[in-house]
Amino acid sequence: MKYKIMLACMGGFSTSMLVKKMREAAEKQGIDAEIDAVAETELDKYNDLNIILLGPQVGHLLGELRSKFETPIIIIDSMDYGLMNGEKVLKDALEHLK
Catalytic: which of 6, 7, 8, 9?
Answer: 9
Nearest to 19 by CA among 98, 91, 84: 84
- Burial grade of 97 (CB within 10 A; 0-12, 13-18, 19 or more): exposed
Question: Does residue 93 contact residue 5 with C-beta atoms inside 8 Å?
Answer: yes
* Catalytic annotation present for 9: yes
Question: Does residue 2 contact residue 50 with C-beta atoms inside 8 Å?
Answer: no
Q: Which residues are catalytic?
A: 9
